[in-house]
Structure 1
Amino acid sequence: MSKYLLRNTAIELLLRIEQDSGYSHLLINHEIKSKNISPKDEGLLTELVYGTLQYKMTLDYYIAAFIDKNKKLSPWVRMLLRMSIYQMIYLDKVPDHAIIHEAVEIAKQRGHKGVASLINAVLRNIQRNGVPSTNDIEDPVKRLSIETSHPEWLVKRWVNCYGYETTKEMCVANLHHKPISIRIQPMKISRIEAMEQLESDGFTVSPSTFSEQGIIIEKGNILKSSLFTKGMITIQDQSSMLVGEMINAQPGQTILDACSAPGGKATHIAEKMRNEGNVFAHDLHKKKIKLIDEKAKELTLTNIKAEQMDARKLRERYEEDTFDRILVDAPCSGLGVMRGKPDIKYNKSEEDIERLSEIQKEILSTIAPLLKPNGLLVYSTCTVDPSENEKVVQDFLSRNQNYEIDQEFFNELPSELKNAQGVTKYGLQLFPQNYQTDGFFLTRLMRKS
């Protein structure tokens, strides 16, 4: 694919993400498969889309210095400017003159001579003079918002929760890729065997300290590995693996995964059970049940029973005191996974957080009687907001006197996490800047006998 067509494709994707609220990772993957884009072009396309998205607010700040504030830009013109400036400022493989030439050609094809002249003028001005400094922004919250392209309301919220320095570290971390991690299927291959095979195939890997099944891929495309195609491994963030470890599942138990799709945690739990016993996996969306079934089939796991159902209605499906273990990996704002899904930060609001926290409370309240006395319940989210994490747990405990925080949870954490920044009496908050993982919260509750 020519660089011209590639950049045009990137603009189309960016417009669909912004205007139709499409999910960036799904749209990119669909485009790569449907157009059979080569691995080399796949890397550049992904970089252009994710990078432009990741720095959108910063790029708009730069554009504003060169465009009259009263001038209305068409969405595609603004997107072309964003993408071109992103390449000029943050990438160094393509020379500026080539970036400007491609942008002008795209402008001619999509618009008219006047638009092409505007694009050319702005980009050449930046080439000569650079972009404006953010030092002139006096308010530190607004400055951090622009510098790291996080909405100002979100930065302010995090500063109120965690302080300025932790917020800054989190915002900066969200701009950078993290390594992919994988989980072995232990009934098919050992971690040592998997690491040796990957290294012999040219991968650079290291063991995860979060899970005895985890491997960090520091270099190499794991999707091309024979281990992946043969169902010996599955891609999963280390933070999610920690859930499967901390639920302490045993062979022969009966376990509920109340909000299961796409099935990464359910299959990990099933592996921990050595494929013995039962994992009842549910999800609100019927089409997502297929993802759980497919994941189980890939890993040759037969003890997962997946069925569509709203977690808030599971008392209609099961009797009280049914389960040895329950996992509530609750629907959440997703503010911990912005490194891989940068569009999330522009599509969420404080109202979303409050609405989701009520759903989380409702799910926990519904699920609580289904656990056997002395059973364990793990609550987790892929967000960093206390309203969805600690405060939900506090609320649940205040309403359910027969539950308590399981203190053994803290003793069983991996050694490097026992004194982590995010450990509180209510659980563990992982921040994206600390362990090269997603931002994630988890805790373990016990039902008293």
Structure 2
Amino acid sequence: MKLHKALVEAIPELVKFILEQECPADIALRMQFKKHSQWGKRDRHFVATAVYDLIRYHRFYTELTKSKSNYWLHTSAWIYFRFNMELTWPNFPKMNPYQLKALEEELKLQPQIYESYPDWMWSHGMEMLGSDRWYKEASSLNREAPVYLRVNILKASLQKVLLALQEEGIEASVTPGPSETLRLHKRAALFKTKAFNLGWFEVQDFASQHIVPFSGVQPGQTVIDVCAGAGGKTLHFAAVMQNTGQIFAADPVEKKIMELKKRAKRAGAQNIQCILLNTESVTLEKLKAKADVVLMDVPCSGSGVFKRHPESKWTLTAEALTALKQIQNNILHTHCSLVRSGGTLVYSTCSIFPDENELQVQEFLKTHSEFILEAEQMLYPSGEGDGFYMARLKRQ
């Protein structure tokens, strides 16, 4: 395989920027590709694959090269392992291939290094999940994340979207599940497609697509999405509810609310009212005991979505996890009063750690006897999609 010097040189610079500036990898790559619009599909795929691998396995390459921040050396090692090639260009240090291979075999005996996790996180995963489950999930979280689409049934059908994508050279297949889901055979420029711009689908992970059907929501009901973000699940509610009833989508970040409004317009979702919770005077108090369904998709460690956001492994700390658990607890206790008698509270995270999931729910139920646990579900990243937890509680 012929390697292009300009592409390879971009890799260590991107990894350095992502890790040292704590920039999400997908955003950094998007900016880079916009800057170098002359790069073709294969060029972009090569750079993205290298960058994601080097971030996922940052600890492995650090130990292998005996350097935490020589990203040029990390890139040389990645090229060697990937293509069995040695780089001879300036800036890329020379290596001893035999020594690399020997070190790799040694590091295989230290799974927290070989799979590349901080020591505290590895210990936490072992404690929370047990060694067998944690080893399995830790390894799966280092795989490339597939791309899933949720067909917007307000505007299109599975077959309609499949055909539209095929016309633009994009192959996908149906993934059986609770929603109308497609899985791409390989990555593509989806946001330039006619189907996307007409609002026929949303990019949404397969596991994430389980939450709205799990809630049991029905057309005509009142829903409050407490942590709506940019609205992926809000839009799913609108589709399942067939644009009837009322959805209140709340978030404290104005940029996310603006993005939600933009997405709702494209999707043809007309039953959504956005609430920006950016001041103390704006609250959800007026909606107390009004909701048939309240979704609390709370801020979390994101441990279930490391496939998509591998840089989070290196920014998350034990102290940050403790703070997140307190935020989760506060959201549960503060907003549970929004659920009417006989209504449903859905608590969800994109975490695989029980202390953010079922243990939080158990603690909540100890002081809120008006709620009972109806069902809970854990979707692991070793299966189809990301790692997600969801619990459905009924208010008596």
Q: TM-score, normalised by structure 1?
A: 0.82
Q: Secondary structure at the match of 1:336?
A: helix
Q: Secondary structure at the match of 1:249?
A: coil
Counterpart pick for 1:372 among 329, 340, 346: 340
Deviations 1:248-292 (A, max 9, x none): 222222110010111110000011111112111111211111111
Displacement of 1:316 in angstroms is 5.1
Counterpart pick for 2:50 among 48, 51, 61: 48
Displacement of 1:341 in angstroms is 0.9
2:380 maps to 431
Name the aligned partner's letter for residue 132 of structure 1. A
Q: In 2 relative to 1, CA 177–374 (structure 1 residues): closer, same or farther, beyond 3 Å?
A: same
Contact 2:150 2:202 (C-alpha < 8 Å) held by counterparts: yes
Displacement of 1:187 in angstroms is 2.0
Q: Secondary structure at the match of 1:131?
A: helix
1:417 maps to none
Contact 1:258 1:329 (C-alpha < 8 Å) held by counterparts: yes
Contact 2:128 2:355 (C-alpha < 8 Å) held by counterparts: no
Q: In 2 relative to 1, CA 320–307 (structure 1 residues): closer, same or farther, beyond 3 Å?
A: closer
Counterpart pick for 1:132 among 85, 102, 114: 102
Counterpart pick for 2:317 among 334, 349, 360: 349
1:292 maps to 260
Q: Secondary structure at the match of 2:10?
A: helix
Moved more, 32-41 or 354-363: 32-41
Contact 1:377 1:446 (C-alpha < 8 Å) held by counterparts: yes
Between the two proteins, what is the percent identity of the paired residues? 25
1:12 maps to 13
Name the aligned partner's letter for residue 20 of structure 1. Q
Report the Cα distance in structure 1 between the residues aligned to 2:288 and 2:73, rounded to whole angstroms: 58
Displacement of 1:134 in angstroms is 5.4
Contact 1:259 1:311 (C-alpha < 8 Å) held by counterparts: no
2:353 maps to 385
Displacement of 1:129 in angstroms is 4.4
Q: Secondary structure at the match of 2:207?
A: helix
Name the aligned partner's letter for residue 85 of structure 2. D
1:418 maps to none
Q: Does 1:160 align with 2:160?
A: no
Name the aligned partner's letter for residue 388 of structure 2. F
Q: Secondary structure at the match of 2:247?
A: strand
Counterpart pick for 2:210 among 218, 223, 242: 242
Q: In 2 relative to 1, CA 292–175 (structure 1 residues): closer, same or farther, beyond 3 Å?
A: same
Contact 2:207 2:388 (C-alpha < 8 Å) held by counterparts: yes
Displacement of 1:382 in angstroms is 0.5
Contact 1:204 1:220 (C-alpha < 8 Å) held by counterparts: no
Name the aligned partner's letter for residue 306 of structure 1. C
**CA RMSD in angstroms, aligned pairs only:** 2.3
Report the Cα distance in structure 2 between the residues aligned to 1:237 and 1:311, rounded to whole angstroms: 32
Contact 1:280 1:306 (C-alpha < 8 Å) held by counterparts: yes
Matching of residues 25-40 of structure 1 within 5 Å: 25-36=26-37, 37-40=39-42
Displacement of 1:312 in angstroms is 9.7
Name the aligned partner's letter for residue 28 of structure 1. L
Deviations 1:149-189 (A, max 9, x none): 11122122111222212111111111111321101111211
Contact 2:248 2:274 (C-alpha < 8 Å) held by counterparts: yes
Q: Secondary structure at the match of 1:292?
A: helix
Report the Cα distance in structure 1 between the residues aligned to 2:105 and 2:6, rounded to whole angstroms: 37
Unmatched 5+ stretches in structure 2:
none
1:21 maps to 22
Counterpart pick for 2:389 among 417, 437, 441: 441
1:96 maps to 85
Report the Cα distance in structure 1 between the residues aligned to 2:269 and 2:393, rounded to whole angstroms: 27
Q: TM-score, normalised by structure 2?
A: 0.92
Moved more, 47-56 or 214-223: 214-223
1:276 maps to 244
Matching of residues 140-155 of structure 1 within 5 Å: 143-155=110-122
Counterpart pick for 1:171 among 138, 146, 149: 138
Unmatched 5+ stretches in structure 1:
65-72, 108-115, 410-426
Q: In 2 relative to 1, CA 23–17 (structure 1 residues): closer, same or farther, beyond 3 Å?
A: same
Name the aligned partner's letter for residue 61 of structure 2. L
Deviations 1:299-344 (A, max 9, x none): 1112111122169987554242111111000001111110111111
Greater RCO, 1 or 2 (C-alpha within 8 Å, sep 6+): 2
Moved more, 36-45 or 395-404: 36-45
1:415 maps to none
Q: Which structure: larger Rg?
A: 1
Q: Secondary structure at the match of 2:383?
A: coil
